[in-house]
Structure 1
Amino acid sequence: MELDIYQVDAFAEEVFSGNPAAVIPLFEWLSDGLMQRIAQECGQSETAFFVRRGEYFELRWFTPDYEIDLCGHATLASAHVLYEFLDYTDPVVVFETKSGRLFVDRENGLYSMDFPAWSVRPIQVTERVAQALGARPDELFMGERDMMAVFGSEEQVRALKPDFRLVSKLDGLCMICTAPGLDHDFVSRTFVAITGLPEDPVTGSAHCTLVPFWAERLGKSALRARQVSARGGVLICENLGSRVKIAGHAVTFMKGTITL
């Protein structure tokens, strides 16, 4: 069996930046075990698989360790593959996923994703969190999936040197660290110790939490964000109430064939 594979840098305007994802189009689903082994072999934070079902596409995402319920950068990368390599011409791509229907459109090379908005509730800043992050945040929140630590400045977020062993013991899938930005409305970093890839370069799904939070705090619906990981990436966001728009560019790093 041979399968086409693409590696795409999402939320990037040039290669070696943004967040890389592997994308594998399928005619029919492979077994879960085989897709998991392919994701392990690819070694990216997420490998996306999709199957066309008439006017929409079923989409699933696998980390090297397990299947995940929502991934922004691999969704953007999947849309990029459809438009750039598979002759897709409709104005919107509809993906059916574990998080419901997701919509992606493209205009002037910018991919815009329609994702759910996630709320947060304040929780106490604990010594456990401070030790895990190597710094004490000003505020701490628990979201619908992730924990979020808020700092006073971009410099503090950039300077974080977390203990990933301790981060892996915190609640939530991801630990999002965020602050007001110097040249952007807000900045963030996302730590996901349980995936074996301690820091996610650019995390679209984290912005399901970040965008509603900063929209309310800053009193504006249109936001420009930057994830300040080593690779880095810019996200153009909009708060729509129960939904958020998360937009960015994508570039192809590699295309090839998997032989099974």
Structure 2
Amino acid sequence: MTRLTQPIAVVDAFTSQAFRGNPAGVCLLDGPAPSEWMQLVAREMAHAETAFVWPLADHESGFFSLKWFTPTTEVDLCGHATLAAAHWLWQSGMLPIGQPARFATLSGPLGATLDGDWIELDFPAEPAQAVPAPPELADMLGAKPVWVGRNRLDYLVELTDAAQVRALTPDLSRFGPLGFRGIIVTAAGDEGYDLVSRGFFPNVGIPEDPVTGSAHCALAPYWAAKLGKTELSAYQASARGGELRLRLDGVRVKLRGQAVTTLEGRIWGP
């Protein structure tokens, strides 16, 4: 009995260098697959997210369904795996180079366009609203917040400066009771960037995410208001590191990044 296989790749997102940025699995499917199988594949891939993509109509229309899974759960929004999916759709020949990709997702319609070596994602802005800091937050982070906010996904915490963000060693074992996906920590940028950040999401199986596109849907409106500019350069200061260019466009955020494919293969299908 012949078993079906599906194309799968690993793409490093928000970087121009292999083995930096944020690696994502990307699995191209002919059609919908059981969620249980996609979750098992994401666990096997063991990256922060694995994207599953299949055409909703003739693939030449550029319209695809897109789902994201961490090793433990399905998530509503993921920037780096969307960028990785668009990159591999073009690289694999599923879409002609330069034709826009359109995705139907749990966070509504998303788009990706290619501009030279850069991919631009069209995402919803996710502004955070100021909230009282949870009493345990400073101890959990090991740093005193300057400002604390929250959106539907995460807490957003500003610290004093970029050096504090880079040196942070939070107690991840205490994040669970917060009840949200995680915490985005940020400060005004250094080394020529407008802002720096790090993202911690142990509640969905990601202790520290190397580069988090969806976090910048909160960071862009926050820093645009603080700095009085709608175009921003951002660096996520994880061990792997990643670079983004941001543009706030009303209720949308344009996320720009680069990507590199590091592995291609096939996986047993559902």
TM-score normalised by length of structure 2: 0.94
Match of 2:12 in 1: 9
The amino acid of 1:172's aligned partner reads F
| CA distances 1:76-128 after superposition (whole Å, capped 9, x unpaired) | 00000111112412531100101010010001110000000112211223430
Match of 1:222 in 2: 231
Counterparts of 1:49 and 1:75 in 2: how far apart (Å)? 10
Shift of 1:38: 0.8
Match of 1:25 in 2: 28
Contact 2:22/2:210, CA 8 A, preserved across alignment: yes
Match of 1:35 in 2: 38
Aligned residues: 260
Matched, 1:110 2:110: no
Match of 1:173 in 2: 181
Pick from 172, 178, 189 the counterpart of residue 198 of structure 2. 189
Q: Secondary structure at the match of 1:169?
A: helix
Counterparts of 2:83 and 2:246 in 1: how far apart (Å)? 14
The amino acid of 2:128's aligned partner reads V
Counterparts of 2:128 and 2:266 in 1: how far apart (Å)? 42
Match of 2:251 in 1: 242
Pick from 87, 91, 94 the counterpart of residue 84 of structure 1. 91
For structure 1, list consecutive stretches of 5 or more residues without a partner in the other structure.
none
Moved more, 231-240 or 53-62: 53-62
Identical-residue share of aligned pairs (%): 42
Q: What root-mean-square deviation, in Å, do the aligned CA atoms of Structure 1 and Structure 2 show?
A: 1.1
Match of 1:258 in 2: 267
Matched, 1:71 2:96: no
Counterparts of 2:6 and 2:149 in 1: how far apart (Å)? 42
Shift of 1:16: 1.2
Counterparts of 2:257 and 2:172 in 1: how far apart (Å)? 28
For structure 2, list consecutive stretches of 5 or more residues without a partner in the other structure.
none
Counterparts of 1:61 and 1:87 in 2: how far apart (Å)? 19
Contact 1:176/1:188, CA 8 A, preserved across alignment: yes
Counterparts of 2:179 and 2:34 in 1: how far apart (Å)? 30
Shift of 1:188: 0.3
Match of 1:95 in 2: 103
TM-score normalised by length of structure 1: 0.97
Contact 2:143/2:159, CA 8 A, preserved across alignment: no
Correspondences of 1:121-132 after superposition (within 5 Å): 121-132=129-140
